[in-house]
Structure 1
């Protein structure tokens, strides 16, 4: 009898639930997407190790505007130049926020940074300040001597190793060290490098700074269930230990960042005519009552991870692609040597004349963008291409898929720098076929510095050396797989043999 009563109550409720779902599906004008499972939605269909490739494959079936359900959150994936143009040219404000993610909340000192901060008055003020004082064209040009000194030092180090018989160079590590050194000098005005820092009492070394960057990357790429299921995820994250591990990692990062700042304040002798980035941030802390040490640290971490990761990644991918395409390598090498002659070093003025090298950088960023997807969040409800997009929808701009869209690019999976010769397409966010730095009001503020570093390093590597594969290695052995994370690093180290130019 009790069973009959239960069925009498539950069956009508179940019918109403089914009818409600049917009505919602009929009235929903959202973008198409793959069917999901109860509770988890489409999370089981995503390969987090290569999410950009996974999303690209799904978009081939469901289109350039694709909806997903990721746990408790709706998501929209943008995978074509026309879709990106529709969003970032006509609806940029609506798509200008960032989701609040657990793994980033501590690391950004409760979103007091620039890169991951939600769209609000604070972000607008910080963006204005960073554009005017931290990452302006004038500021980038002022750091030209530092970039040239560090690149020249890198070339000398490689040459010394080649002369002494150290045949194989770990170019991934060499380029990472170069970019880290540049970022540290423009940020702190100091050199942290083995013997050159041995006379000071500093405990800070290149190795420790690399450790810091590795810890930040690990924290950023950690998976938190609470990012998808806020109600139960926090409990599970604490139970699994991922929360305590993140807390421990953040405390170590915070302590080390504080150590860098303390040492800087103790030893700095920078003049007001030659401010470093930290000088500017500390001056802001002094002038603005609501700008705290947490803001300073959050922005410093933005610069350390975003600037160093993207520039080093771009340079390594460019060299990898050139090694896999010997004819293009030869063409790029001949251009720099014919133009520069016996000068001995390529400076940034020279780089502006290297048409083919710039095409190589663009083509590399098209095929292997340093940031494979850009994550945003909608501020309000809006309609894009006839699709209703709800507020607080997470948006994935698939930069990788856009760069390989066959409707926009002929033979998109081939490395062909010539496609950019006599082409007006650039990487600065105005051409939606090529968006390695994003687009709209949240385009990467450090774009000019990143490009300058990549082009200068690549030009001098090609000018100073003939590069060969290690003995027994074939071109097809060069692994082009990437590591998981916000920045797309090459999974395996690029190890090459430098031959000194005659």
Structure 2
């Protein structure tokens, strides 16, 4: 092997024992691991769902995937418990202090990965689809708030792959579960989020790992994942439960007054308080009505995203409407606040180096992780903004939909109440972080609610280059809309997919099926870009639902159906409830804390 045939990957002196290193080898993601003096180079994607293995950690001589816990031997690459599954291990050598692999081996691996069978492919233009009007196409057949329902109806009529036109955009619609999963797995190298979304986020100065693509995403991903670890959530848990107690007091007052509750409004207040406290250590306390300037400013952003994502042209770059001017004022205030908080965090970390191992909030964790790593204040700001928006919108809606199903299903209500009573005992609230993994049925119910009522029933991607999805040619820059909810239900049609059934999530050993291991389940995404905040979301859901079941009787109030409305994320409209206190319980130690 000549030096010219070698591909350098990393300086050997830069490797840290048992710390996976992500490497991009001419567009091929690899992972380098040094364990017990030996250096191994593997395919960088987990064979399960394509997640990046460099996001994981080394435990007991195994490289553990961060997404779903698959374990691979650091020397051989064989999967623990399943020797038939093995990572591709490259013939790595250290030459002149550089970890290298053979260029020919890399080329063969690349061709095998990219290889397709010889079946015929169809041109994109041959796909069926609904008839439209000249110039605008199907634009006027889609309203912002219910467009997902129309798209799902079209999938029933035209099949799992069809095309539509919105003005100048010719869009591939995909509802086949295997193809939706394939598209997820091929991010960020073949498919990316629509470039218009990234541009809008950058214009809002809210560009974080959620909107980043390619190398920018790889640069930010691991820092963000490390800031949302199990250890950080355990440290935050008592604070979160104090906010759950505050929501309990609000609901007790409503129950005592016989007052109806706008459920989504209350849950949004809860998630704002949790997310703001986790993100930057500032409890906004909107539950008790302490609305201030910052939460009003943050509230402008989801409305702006909804307006701009559905606009055919970026009019705001040329003409500022009153809503756009209000947004600009809000952004100035938000970023002034975050700049001050980041400066304060850097000062605290400089004064107390030990704080990096026990950060008090998300900003401190990001700043600590980013020291020396080229993670700028702008990166920190974008990711804090992302957490605030995603944490508020998606978790509040998931909770609201689950409580809706509890109103509709007395058997579900009884099941979740029985689990809450058994695990909480005499307490009114979840007290011990170690108890939450035992909330198997609450977690299963949350996953089932997200399966049927996902926050994002349509995900908008675009092709980075000419490619093939299934048997359809997809030209570069073609928008590809994934109908994730419709695909999930199609994949599970034989198991009563339209019915709410938590048993589909309960494994024979009595544990809950891991969401990232579930077939055709996309509320947290799939592949390399699974949602790093899913553990926080599920922890919030368990805290609120166990509190609700333990302390209240629940019923639907109001009249008329609860409808799906898509406003950036999918929310329940007309969901009003009424609560009654259950029999008096022993007071919790957290009960009277603010």
Instruction: Using structure 1 for the length normalisation, give the TM-score.
Output: 0.80
Distance 1:46 1:257, change over 3 A: same
The yes-or-no answer on 1:216 pairing with 2:301 is yes
Q: Is it true that 1:130 corresponds to 2:214 in the alignment? A: no
Q: Provide the secondary structure at the position in 2 that maps to 1:482.
A: strand
1:13 corresponds to = none
Aligned to 1:183: 275
8 Å Cα contact 1:170-1:495 kept in structure 2? yes
- 2:247 alignment partner in structure 1: 154
Work out whether residues 439 and 542 of structure 2, in 8 Å CA contact, stay in contact via their aligned partners in 1.
no
Give distance in 2, aligned partners of 1:294 and 1:88: 27
Task: Give secondary structure in 2 for the equivalent of 1:114.
Answer: coil
Residue 238 of structure 2 is aligned to residue 145 of structure 1 = yes
Q: Is the 8 Å Cα contact of residues 403 and 433 (structure 1) preserved in structure 2?
A: yes
Q: 1:75 to 1:430 in 2, by over 3 A?
A: farther
* CA contact 1:467–1:496 (8 Å) conserved in 2: yes
Show the counterpart of 1:380: 465
**Cα displacement (A) at 1:365:** 0.8
**Alignment partners' CA distance in 1, 2:444 and 2:410:** 16
Please give the alpha-carbon distance, in whole angstroms, between the structure 2 residues aligned to 1:373 and 1:352.
30
Aligned pairs (5 A) from 1:425-436: 426=513, 428-436=515-523
Superposed CA deviations along residues 150-197 of structure 1, whole A, max 9, x for unmatched, are 21332234335545x354344323322222111111111132237999
RMSD value, Cα:
3.3
Aligned partner of residue 489 in structure 1, secondary structure: strand
CA distance in 2, matches of 1:320, 1:224: 28
Q: Note the C-alpha offset of 1:60.
A: 0.8
- Alignment match, 1:249: 327
What runs of 5+ residues in structure 1 fail to find an aligned partner?
1-25, 198-204
2:402 is aligned, of 309, 312, 318, to 318
1:459 aligned residue (510, 526, 546): 546
Partner in structure 2 of residue 114 of structure 1: 209
Aligned to 1:306: 390
Match of 2:361? 276
Q: Does 2:552 match 1:495?
A: no
Q: How many residues align?
A: 453
CA distance in 1, matches of 2:362, 2:294: 17
| Structure 1 contact 373–399 (Cα < 8 Å) conserved | yes
Verify the 8 A CA contact 2:428 2:547 in the aligned structure 1.
Answer: no
Matched with 2:496 is: 411
User: Is residue 147 of structure 2 the alignment partner of residue 51 of structure 1?
Assistant: yes
Shift of 1:221: 0.5
| Per-residue Cα deviation, 1:248-267 (whole angstroms, up to 9, x for no partner) | 41332332342354367569
State the alpha-carbon separation in 2 of the partners of residues 425 and 87 from structure 1: 26
Q: Distance in 2 between matches of 1:120 and 1:425?
A: 33
Q: Give, in angstroms, the shift of residue 469 of structure 1.
A: 3.8
Contact map agreement 1:29 1:386 (CA 8 A) in 2: no
Measure, in 1, the Cα distance between the counterparts of 2:396 and 2:525.
18
The residue that corresponds to 2:525 in the other structure is: 438
- Give the Cα–Cα distance (whole angstroms) in 2 for the partners of residues 251 and 55 of structure 1: 36
Distance 1:86 1:295, change over 3 A: closer
Q: Aligned partners of 1:329 and 1:34: how far apart in 2? A: 42
Contact 1:336 1:462 (8 Å CA) reproduced? yes
- Does 2:285 match 1:193? yes
The change in CA–CA distance for 1:74 and 1:158 in structure 2 (over 3 A counts) is same
Q: Is the 8 A contact 2:273 2:284 kept in 1?
A: yes
Does the 8 A contact of 1:380 with 1:391 survive in 2?
Answer: yes
CA distance in 1, matches of 2:342, 2:173: 43
| In the alignment, structure 1 residue 84 sits paired with structure 2 residue 180 | yes
**Cα displacement string for residues 115-163 of structure 1 (whole angstroms, at most 9, x for unaligned residues):** 122x22212101122122x223333333222222221332234335545
| Residue number in structure 2 paired with 1:41 | 137
Are 2:169 and 1:73 aligned?
yes
Which whole-Å CA distance do the structure 2 matches of 1:35 and 1:324 have between them? 38
1:332 maps to: 416
8 Å CA contact 1:103–1:219 kept in 2: the answer is: no
Q: 1:467 to 1:105 in 2, by over 3 A?
A: closer
Question: 1:309 is paired with a residue of what secondary structure?
Answer: helix
The separation in 2 between residues aligned to 1:461 and 1:235, in whole angstroms, is 45
Q: Using a 3 Å threshold, how does the CA distance of structure 1 residues 98 and 428 change in structure 2: closer, same or farther?
A: farther
Distance (Å, rounded) in 2 between the aligned partners of 1:468 and 1:195: 21
Q: Give the match's secondary structure for 2:468.
A: strand
Three-state SS of the structure 2 residue aligned to 1:360 is helix
Structure 2 stretches of 5 or more lacking a match?
1-121, 585-594
1:313, distance to aligned residue in structure 2 (A): 0.9
Kept after mapping to 1: 8 A contact 2:489/2:498? yes
Distance 1:258 1:325 in 2: 47
Could you tell me the TM-score, scaled by structure 2's length?
Answer: 0.68
Deviation at 1:449, TM superposition (A): 1.0
Q: Is the partner of 2:554 in helix, strand or coil?
A: strand
On the 8 A contact 2:171/2:481 being kept in 1, the answer is: yes
